[in-house]
Structure 1
């Protein structure tokens, strides 16, 4: 009798079954070593299984889409507007192929081909309460004033909407370390990347979000389930920070 071993991995974005995901580019570890980067404990980063070999979705893309699949178990009865800041191609493809009622607009300060070429610290091109949803992953650690950026994100979100936030969080540090004026070499050492201007602690990040007026729901393994985390190689400590202005038609049933 033959037994077929069940593959533990299943990408939430493309639904392919890789034997394992591809590791994070060694460049980052090499730069950290070169500049003597401080040792950290990342809340959400799987260096060994980072990228899907089929659709190139990162670990955070996979958890993001798994969450969208959860809240969009049924098709929406009307169009949903979503702003993807520093957009992810795999996430855009997911919506195009699976949730056409979600109308995705993109924004970035440097990237060509986006709908809004803007600085999220001052999104004057976007009117108040314009979007039902937005995604802002690994952006706030790059901007000079993350409080201004969070204030703008609050402004453009509809009253019953939902935002999704991620930044690199170091579980070993107790407070935010930031300096937008330090040189690149020091940024590698203190913040873990040459274009980062701060390193977030978990509590510091939560406090900063709440200062902007948001309610925060921490979406982790207890909400998403063990199977989703294992299939997508998501670290046990990973948290997706879902924010609302109050009651939200998208997430109140889980938060």
Structure 2
């Protein structure tokens, strides 16, 4: 069970300072799959999404949807070889110190145990059973190269989880013109983002050797865990991997139509 009282105090105080009126509002009890706790979430800021963070582990919606997927996949992550890009704290706390875990970032950080460049991964072919790449590819100029590298280091039975900022219903990825100023690109795409992704992210991954399904949570799961309507792209070198998954009634897999 990740998290602790220190995190709870920090998140509760930060949320209260930024949006004190949230405590006067009626809020339901939510479930956080990152730390397996149930209770009231806190808003991160006055103008942002309500009930954004879990106060016990500081998880965000994009963290909780990955944790929920892991929970339903019933993976014993502690016994697997896991490559985790730009590690989120909830998963880093859980897995750091286990023999097969590599939490890598482009530079050394407190929540990383290795320096890893996603476009030149310094590990041999078929080194990992699980890859987690959560809101990373939008920062990489050559995202296709990073995808190929991910495919290279995955075992034949491996699974990879990719997420990127994606608006519901948008199919086509937008790539800025080569001569567009960086400031203008960021105004459209977000800070340090190189493009705006659509659901055709699944096609990009497939073109680099990764069979991909779009993971979607139903309304019940999104309400229960306070999730955004943002897809997870679940990839494997072997498409039969998807047939062996039993994710329950709240999570569905589909191919891009």
Same fold flag (TM > 0.5): yes
1:30-78: CA deviation from partner (whole Å, max 9, x where unpaired): xxxxxxxxxxxxxxxxx333221221011111111111111127x58x9
2:205 maps to: 209
Structure 2 length as normaliser, TM-score? 0.74
Q: 1:245 aligns with which of 234, 237, 245?
A: 237
Structure 1 residue 110 corresponds to structure 2 residue 107: yes
Within a 5 Å distance, the mapping from 1:153-172 to structure 2 comes to: 153-171=150-168
> What TM-score, normalized by structure 1, do the two folds share?
0.75
Question: What residue in structure 2 maps to residue 91 of structure 1?
Answer: 91
Distance change >3 Å, CA 158–CA 24, structure 1 → 2: farther
Aligned-pair Cα RMSD in Å:
3.0
Contact 2:215 2:231 in 1 (8 A): yes
Deviation at 1:101, TM superposition (A): 7.2
1:26-105 aligned within 5 A: 47-72=49-74, 79-95=79-95, 103-105=100-102
Alpha carbons of structure 1 residues 170 and 24: separation in structure 2 relative to 1, 3 Å: farther
Aligned counterpart for 1:17 among listed residues 15, 38, 49: 38
CA contact (8 A) 2:82 2:100 kept: yes
Q: Can you give the 5+ residue segments of structure 1 that lack an aligned partner in the other structure?
A: 30-46
The Cα of 1:147 is off from its aligned counterpart by 0.6
Using a 3 Å threshold, how does the CA distance of structure 1 residues 249 and 201 change in structure 2: closer, same or farther?
closer
Q: Distance in 1 between matches of 2:74 and 2:242?
A: 8
Equivalent residues, number: 220
The equivalent of 1:43 in structure 2 is: none
Matched, 1:231 2:228: no
Q: Distance in 2 between matches of 1:219 and 1:172?
A: 14
Partner Cα separation in structure 1 for residue 99 and residue 241 of structure 2: 15
